């Protein structure tokens, strides 16, 4: 799930899964040859502490892109570079800590740098999700007024949990309901973007917003188990 704050929940989940599988295979083949003490240390360092390191680096880069997207400055590309630089520096510190002070440096970096940074990113992710839910509710007024979406739909769009429950309850139209909610969120975020883009980009974004609004209208009929009226 992409949003203009740069935090990508699905991407972080994929990175975490990939990193867990990596950390639970390659390092342990070497550790097995070294003995049980080395194996236990490797499991603690690579299997318990490390799996969320790379998703954290990805998130820092994403935050840079998100800040650039929200900025009106002509130098907003600097946010991207700063986010990438933060990820590179943190990755370098993380890699070098493993051999520092016979492993003590690794724990120190994890406790003093990695974990606090992870907490900050987690808080930003929660705040971003909350803002996204509010933006959705505030910017889908036309669809609510025209009956394309109902109050139940807006409630479902307000949180991921409610969205999943509504999709599961849709029965045979589950796929259309899922596509409807995804497109509705995209429409709301695009309308928020339309409020911020430079004037030269406004016509193009407005055209995309109109097309997406039409798509939401069509999906609302499909989610209700009916075809859109012809000629409308």
Sign of CA dihedral 222, 227, 230, 232: negative
Q: What is the 3-state secondary structure (H, E, C) of 53-75?
A: HHHHHHHHHHHHHHHHHHCCCCC
**pLDDT tens digits, residue range 55-102?**
888 888 888 888 887 776 677 788 889 999 999 998 888 878 766 656
What are all long-range contacts of 204-210, with beta carbons under 8 Å and residues at least 24 apart? none
Q: What is the pLDDT of residue 201?
A: 84
Q: Is the pLDDT of residue 32 over 50?
A: no
Task: Tell me the angle at which helices 174-194 and 115-139 cross, rounded to the nearest 10 degrees.
Answer: 90
Average model confidence (pLDDT) across the chain: 77
Domain extents in the chain: 9-134, 140-223
**CA 57 to the chain's CA centroid:** 13
Question: Would you say residue 41 has pLDDT above 60?
Answer: no
Burial class (CB in 10 A: 0-12, 13-18, 19+), 153: buried
Q: Within 10 A of 229 (CB to CB), how many other CB atoms are there?
A: 7
Q: State the first-to-last Cα distance of the chain, in angstroms, to the nearest integer.
A: 31
The pLDDT of residue 2 is 42
Question: Which residue, 158, 156, 143, is CA-closest to 221?
Answer: 143
The answer to whether residue 229 scores a pLDDT higher than 50 is yes
Q: What is the pLDDT of residues 1-28, one digit of tens each?
A: 445 445 544 444 444 445 444 444 444 4
Chain centroid to Cα 145, Å, comes to 30
Q: Could you list the beta-strand ranges (E) of the chain.
A: none
Residues 177-193 have pLDDT tens digits of 999 999 999 999 889 88
What pLDDT is recorded for position 25? 47
Residue 46 has pLDDT above 70, yes or no: no
């Amino acid at each position: 799930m992409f949003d203009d704050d740069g935090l990508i929940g699905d991407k972080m989940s994929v990175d975490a899964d990939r990193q867990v599988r990596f950390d639970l295979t390659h390092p342990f083949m070497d550790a097995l040859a070294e003995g049980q003490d080395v194996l236990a240390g490797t499991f603690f360092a690579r299997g318990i502490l490390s799996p969320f390191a790379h998703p954290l680096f990805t998130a820092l880069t994403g935050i840079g892109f998100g800040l650039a997207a929200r900025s009106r400055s002509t130098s907003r590309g600097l946010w991207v570079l700063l986010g990438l630089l933060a990820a590179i520096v943190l990755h370098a510190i993380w890699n070098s800590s493993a051999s520092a002070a016979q492993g003590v440096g690794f724990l120190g970096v994890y406790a003093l740098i990695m974990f606090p940074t992870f907490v900050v990113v987690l808080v930003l992710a929660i705040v971003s999700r909350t803002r996204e839910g509010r933006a959705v509710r505030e910017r889908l007024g036309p669809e609510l007024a025209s009956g394309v979406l109902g109050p139940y739909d807006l409630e479902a769009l307000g949180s991921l949990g409610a969205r999943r429950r509504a999709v599961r309850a849709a029965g045979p139209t589950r796929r259309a309901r899922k596509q409807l909610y995804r497109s509705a969120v995209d429409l709301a975020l695009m309308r928020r973007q339309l409020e911020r883009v430079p004037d030269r980009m406004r016509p193009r974004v407005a055209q995309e917003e109109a097309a997406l609004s039409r798509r939401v209208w069509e999906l609302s009929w499909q989610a209700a188990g009916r075809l859109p009226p012809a000629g409308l």
